[in-house]
Chains A and B, each alone.
Chain A
Amino acid sequence: MIRIFRHLRTKEWCFVILSVLFIVAQVWLDLRLPEYMTEITELVQTEGSAMADIYSAGGKMLLCALGSLVTSIIVGFFAAQVAANLSKRLRREIFEKVESFSMEEISNFSTDSLITRSTNDITQIEMIVAMGLQLIVKAPIMAVMAIVKIQDKGTWQWSALTACAVVLLVSTILVIMLYAVPKFKRIQGLTDNLNRVSRENLTGLRVVRAYNAEAYQEEKFDKANEELTETHLKAQRAMQVMNPMMSLVMNGITLGIYWIGAYLIDAAGALDKLPLFSNMVVFSSYAMQVIMAFTMLTMIFIMLPRAAVSAKRIEEVLGTKPAILDGSASGETALRGEVEFRHVSFRYPDADEYVLHDISFTAHKGETVAFIGATGSGKSTIVNLVARFYDATEGEVLVDGVNVKDYRLHDLYNKLGYVPQRAVLFSGTVKSNVAFGENGKPPAEDEEIQAAVRTAQSADFVEKLEGGYDGAVAQGGANFSGGQKQRLSIARAICRRPEIYIFDDSFSALDYKTDRVLRSALKKETAGVTSLIVAQRIGTIKDADRIVVVDEGRAVGIGTHDELMASCEVYREIALSQLSKEELGA
């Protein structure tokens, strides 16, 4: 928790220190108030005191109150500044850190967890800094100062009563919280559960209806609903005890002090009666302050653990070192468009099993090399190594004759045009998506963007869009169909004018016809560019210059379609499962 404050700058530290000073001043002023109250009370009580004295005491008290208001506004300003600055900085640091992560770190944390860490966890910290810090500083100061004040005002009976009240209140709050907080945590989980059941019903709407299983789903929902409501009831009922308890204690303490006071005053000498009486009035308001201070402290101790967990989660991200580091080689290579694997083996960090064994092949400039194999055979992993999502465990991956590890990452990426299996679009416009990122060249002109969209067979639906190329793309590309998204993400790669294309199973969302037309157009437009294609369909890769058949991480065959049909059993099996003999001959 403390480590998170490393992220504060000098200016904010000054704010923090100033805040502490102002808080001390504020508490001092707040505690002066009852003294003026005493003075006013005494003046009112004393026969023949002048109205002017009352005015001046009242004026001083108002000044004090005003001073306290001003100081708390200043403290509030500082706290808001420190909290907002800290959260802004943490958010940016995490965001930039995550941008520098490789697949390995992302999958270690999981995307969902990283998102929560960048949003909810930071909000938690922000809240504790904005509200909690003030209270953390203020509550002990207030408690100590109020107790000091009480010491010479009160009698031991009043003090004992106040102590009892504090113990009673604090222990009630603690007991309730210890009971309720775990329940609230469970409620979170149960709400997720209810959501899951409802989502299940919604996503399976057709299946649910086709099987007439509505009652079955509803029964499941009722169970989840019942459980959630029960837990809610338990937690909420416990919380209901809090408020009446607080007012009972607050009222009780005033009554108690006056009750005891009656006996004390009665027993005191004639001269002591009046001072004792006004002390009593003052003591009851100080006692209230003490109780408030302890209540605040208890609340903080309940809030703090949650924030501490968040702080730890944030620090975990910030403290992670990316596994993929920049090299020093520039992209100015003599060779262009060549990819070579030399005896490459790969296993995931912390895994025992190898995913790839001893893979070797070369793709020369302008060639198309395809990878085919069963799911889980490792064919996508091969192209992932070219893009340095991971680094090869053994052997070398060379691009343009240079080991990929030696490149400056930006320079390596500038050579590549990568299209993922699952199309990813970003909110913005069609244009901003196609001309995405930087490629070390001047930004793409409108004509280039349009040409890329045309090649990717997307011109028809893009031009129909409201706004055409400036048409809006919703978050995650939600306003496009799967096939359209895939085509736009291909256009994005084309617009980059790379030396090497990587298509990681990018054509499977397209129907056969679009698939063929697109690849024809691509071939025409990108003559001389090397392509690595991972595919499921034989039709997509039949005409590749070289096909690498991957089975359980090994290259079991390398050659053209015809060669492999003749020599490679695995390839033949795949081909025959998709096309009949005569179709393969066609």
Chain B
Amino acid sequence: MTRGIHHHMRGGSSKMPVNFKKSIGKLISFCRPYIPAILIAMVCAVASAVLTVIGPDKVSDLTGLIEEGFLSGIDFDAVLTICYTLIAFYAASWILGLTQGLVMTTVNQTVSKNLRRSISRKINRLPIDYYNRTSFGDVLSRITNDVDTISETLQRSIVQMVSAAALFIGCLVMMFRTNWIMAVTAIAASLIGFLFVSIVTKSSQKYFLARQEWLGRLNGHIEEVYSGHNIVRLYNAEKQQSGAFNKMNEKLYECNWKSQFLSGLMMPVMSFIGNFGYVAVCVVGAMLTMNGEIDFGVIIAFIIYVRLFSSPLSQIAQAMTSLQSTAAASERVFEFLEAQEMPDESNKTAVLENVRGEVEFDHVYFGYDSDKIIIHDFCEHIYPGQKVAIVGPTGAGKTTMVNLLMRFYDVTSGEIKIDGVPVSSLTRENVHDLFGMVLQDTWLFEGTIRDNVVYGKENISDEEVEKACRAVGMHHFIKTLPNGYDTVIDDKMNLSAGQKQLLTIARAMIENAPMIILDEATSSVDTRTEILIQKAMDRMTEGRTSFVIAHRLSTIRNADKILVMKDGNIIESGNHEELMAKGGFYADLYNSQFEKAS
């Protein structure tokens, strides 16, 4: 367990060596409630395997009876008995097989569902920090690909292994019981085949892996060139890109045909081995028959045993490979599920309500890495209703401030206090309730406009939603939509960036929090919408303590306090006049907006 976490803290990777036992163990303990059901499935599998093994024996009895009847007439009572027994066997084996399949499918899908649900719960319990080291794609791939792999391989491998083992042992016992010389012949013939098949599997596996890898690379290249098509064309780079493409395509082709060819060998080789076994059994059988040691029925039975015997061996081998991928996939899933969560806060009882909005930074130190402090001893007192602008060049770490205020990250040392109460004594939920937040990358989800504006808050009347949308100037537009507030926002619906921003402002208005965090969006919004957004934001900050990541000059100039950030650190603070008088970084930054390029 600690290993998983340890790995993640270093930026988890999927290429770590798979610890087979540990991962499978974790999976089994996750499946605990379903173990009885799995056991039932296993019993069914074993029983059905036993029936499959006894069947041929009965068939051979049947042929024996027919043969004996050549001269004296067939004993139909005995024949019928055998036939009815066989019918009962086959029917039972059918029912057992079906039951096993249905039970395993149900267990499997339920386990997959639970795994997916656990992952989704986990997403919201991990610190934001975690996602700076793990890509979203990686998490998503755990929910879908890895869980799918587990469910697919589990379905086949566990039961297959048990039933194959039962079949294998059963066959062995029956063969030796019938005739040991024939048994040795059949085993020898099958083993040769098994060896051959395992060699082929191994080498084709190699090419399959290579094929997947080249396919992945080629797809990456195609994606890149198609989405950068304009640039490729305008820079006359078609030849260059085709060159790279052809190289990869050629490699892919090589692995492709080799893997196809080798895996295609499997079936013919298997059937040759089947035939080989047949001849071996017949020839040896014939010799024994002539010596009068066995009768013809034994040969018939062995013909079937040979077929039965060779399949469990390769099935066990297959199940082992599937289990390997189950282990790899479950290692990735459990690594995520066991990653360190945010500290538990159920013991915190302090609740802050009806705040005035006084915020104090008291000797705050902070670094994303505890050994790389970027904010040193930051002290600042913000009074209720003040407007704080955070400025700095791109990449200066303006969102760090948002992260600390919202407690997405905790300060390394020092305290942030709201109305004199240290935020570390409050639950995160409580802190979140104190702030309304509008971020630059507008986040809307697929759902109705109303759902997006209300967003999880309860007891919000339609009037309040309308009021908020009217306040941001979206009401009229929403009314023109075919379903009004119930219109579903999705890819097909073309909301402009500005309209999306306005909706997120409306959402923040509904939340009606005593303090506000705003990230001003300026780019890619047309002038008229920008004026609307400005007005809406100004209305929101009225009478509230507000923190604004400022892009607009007007915001900067009339802010009560300006925090200037550079390279992650707060390097200057004060109001506009003070900072301009200082003639430092801020003054330089501010003036650069008006200078002509020279």
Interface check A306, CB cutoff 8 A: no
Closest to A79 in B: B264
Given A191-B144, A206-B439; A262-B250 close (CB under 8 Å):
no
Interface check A314, CB cutoff 8 A: no
Given A92-B249, A209-B428; A199-B286 close (CB under 8 Å):
no
User: Contact: A69 with B269, CB < 8 Å?
Assistant: yes
Interface check A81, CB cutoff 8 A: yes
Interface string of B72-84 (1 = CB under 8 A from A): 0110100100010
Interface check B378, CB cutoff 8 A: no
Interface check A66, CB cutoff 8 A: yes
Option from B237, B275, B592 in Cβ contact (under 8 Å) with A61: B275
In this complex, which of B65, B221, B224, B285 has the most chain A Cβ atoms within 10 angstroms of its Cβ? B224
Interface check B456, CB cutoff 8 A: yes
> Which of B174-182, B319-327, B344-352, B520-528 forms part of the interface with chain A?
B520-528
Given A81-B257, A248-B91, A513-B393, list of 5 further CB < 8 A pairs?
A99-B225, A114-B226, A439-B236, A573-B527, A580-B554
User: Contact: B233 with A413, CB < 8 Å?
Assistant: yes
CA distance A314 to B522 in the complex (A): 42
Least Cβ–Cβ distance between A298 and chain B, in angstroms: 18
Interface check B260, CB cutoff 8 A: yes
User: Contact: A194 with B143, CB < 8 Å?
Assistant: yes
CA distance A113 to B437 in the complex (A): 36
CA distance A114 to B91 in the complex (A): 51
User: Contact: B408 with A206, CB < 8 Å?
Assistant: yes
User: Contact: A236 with B432, CB < 8 Å?
Assistant: no
Give the residues from 36 to 73 in chain B that come closer than 8 angstroms, CB to CB, to chain A.
Answer: 52, 55, 59, 62-63, 65-67, 69-70, 73
Give the residues from 444 to 480 in chain B that come closer than 8 angstroms, CB to CB, to chain A.
Answer: 445-446, 455-457
User: Contact: A95 with B144, CB < 8 Å?
Assistant: no
Interface check A472, CB cutoff 8 A: no
CA distance A92 to B429 in the complex (A): 55
Option from A37, A233, A255, A266 in Cβ contact (under 8 Å) with B278: A37
User: Contact: B526 with A374, CB < 8 Å?
Assistant: yes
> Which of A38-46, A170-178, A345-353 forms part of the interface with chain B?
A38-46
Least Cβ–Cβ distance between A330 and chain B, in angstroms: 14
User: Contact: A274 with B226, CB < 8 Å?
Assistant: no
Least Cβ–Cβ distance between A413 and chain B, in angstroms: 5
Given A254-B59, A543-B596, A577-B530; A199-B120 close (CB under 8 Å):
no
Option from B66, B86, B140, B224 in Cβ contact (under 8 Å) with A475: B224
Q: List 16 A-B contacts (CB under 8 A).
A: A95-B245, A98-B225, A99-B242, A114-B226, A195-B143, A211-B457, A218-B121, A233-B109, A255-B83, A262-B65, A273-B70, A413-B235, A437-B236, A492-B231, A516-B593, A577-B530
Closest to B142 in A: A198
Q: Number of B residues contacting the other chain (C-beta, 8 Å)?
A: 152
Give the residues from 374 to 407 in chain A that come closer than 8 angstroms, CB to CB, to chain B.
Answer: 374-377, 387, 389
User: Contact: A510 with B226, CB < 8 Å?
Assistant: no
User: Contact: A212 with B432, CB < 8 Å?
Assistant: yes
Note all chain A residues with C-beta closer than 8 A to B455.
211, 213, 216
> Which of A142-150, A160-168, A219-227 forms part of the interface with chain B?
A219-227
Note all chain A residues with C-beta closer than 8 A to B524.
375, 508, 536
Give the residues from 237 to 287 in chain B that come closer than 8 angstroms, CB to CB, to chain A.
Answer: 237-242, 245-246, 249-250, 252-253, 256-258, 260-261, 264-265, 267-269, 271-272, 275-276, 278-279, 282-283, 285-287
Note all chain A residues with C-beta closer than 8 A to B413.
none
Closest to A219 in B: B456
Option from A43, A198, A245, A436 in Cβ contact (under 8 Å) with B120: A198
Give the residues from 290 to 325 in chain A that come closer than 8 angstroms, CB to CB, to chain B.
Answer: none
Option from A65, A114, A206, A586 in Cβ contact (under 8 Å) with B275: A65
User: Contact: B59 with A258, CB < 8 Å?
Assistant: yes
Note all chain A residues with C-beta closer than 8 A to B589.
512-513
Option from B124, B236, B496 in Cβ contact (under 8 Å) with A201: B124
CA distance A508 to B524 in the complex (A): 8
User: Contact: B66 with A258, CB < 8 Å?
Assistant: yes
Given A37-B282, A44-B289, A68-B272; A258-B63 close (CB under 8 Å):
yes
Interface check A530, CB cutoff 8 A: no
Note all chain B residues with C-beta closer than 8 A to A64.
275
Q: Which 4 A-B pairs have the closest CB atoms?
A: A437-B235, A240-B101, A437-B237, A374-B526
User: Contact: A244 with B93, CB < 8 Å?
Assistant: yes
Least Cβ–Cβ distance between B166 and chain A, in angstroms: 15
User: Contact: B597 with A516, CB < 8 Å?
Assistant: yes
Interface string of B568-589 (1 = CB under 8 A from A): 0000000000000000000011
User: Contact: B286 with A54, CB < 8 Å?
Assistant: yes
User: Contact: A259 with B83, CB < 8 Å?
Assistant: yes
Given A95-B222, A119-B222; A58-B241 close (CB under 8 Å):
no
Note all chain B residues with C-beta closer than 8 A to A343.
none
Note all chain A residues with C-beta closer than 8 A to B594.
539, 583, 586
> Which of A1-9, A82-90, A357-365, A446-454 forms part of the interface with chain B?
A82-90
User: Contact: B406 with A210, CB < 8 Å?
Assistant: yes
Note all chain A residues with C-beta closer than 8 A to B59.
254-255, 258
User: Contact: A44 with B253, CB < 8 Å?
Assistant: no
Closest to A410 in B: B236
Closest to B52 in A: A247
User: Contact: B456 with A215, CB < 8 Å?
Assistant: yes
User: Contact: A262 with B593, CB < 8 Å?
Assistant: no
Given A92-B246, A204-B445, A255-B87; A198-B439 close (CB under 8 Å):
no
Least Cβ–Cβ distance between A168 and chain B, in angstroms: 13
CA distance A67 to B229 in the complex (A): 52
Interface check A17, CB cutoff 8 A: no
CA distance A507 to B534 in the complex (A): 22
> Which of A151-159, A334-342, A420-428, A462-470 forms part of the interface with chain B?
A420-428
Interface check A514, CB cutoff 8 A: yes
CA distance A44 to B437 in the complex (A): 89
Give the residues from 1 to 54 in chain A that come closer than 8 angstroms, CB to CB, to chain B.
Answer: 33, 37, 40-41, 43-45, 51, 54
Note all chain B residues with C-beta closer than 8 A to A414.
236
Give the residues from 123 to 146 in chain A that come closer than 8 angstroms, CB to CB, to chain B.
Answer: 123, 126, 130-131
User: Contact: A216 with B456, CB < 8 Å?
Assistant: yes
User: Contact: A80 with B260, CB < 8 Å?
Assistant: yes
Interface check B2, CB cutoff 8 A: no
Interface check B34, CB cutoff 8 A: no
Option from B286, B457, B523 in Cβ contact (under 8 Å) with A509: B523
> Which of B111-119, B328-336, B358-366 forms part of the interface with chain A?
B111-119
Least Cβ–Cβ distance between B401 and chain A, in angstroms: 13
CA distance A513 to B136 in the complex (A): 32
Option from A87, A202, A237 in Cβ contact (under 8 Å) with B102: A237
Interface check B128, CB cutoff 8 A: yes
Interface check A445, CB cutoff 8 A: no
Note all chain A residues with C-beta closer than 8 A to B117.
221-222, 225
Note all chain A residues with C-beta closer than 8 A to B268.
68-69, 72-73, 76
Note all chain A residues with C-beta closer than 8 A to B62.
258-259, 262
User: Contact: A88 with B435, CB < 8 Å?
Assistant: no
CA distance A389 to B231 in the complex (A): 11
Given A244-B94, A255-B87, A481-B395; A512-B592 close (CB under 8 Å):
yes
Option from B219, B245, B408, B595 in Cβ contact (under 8 Å) with A92: B245
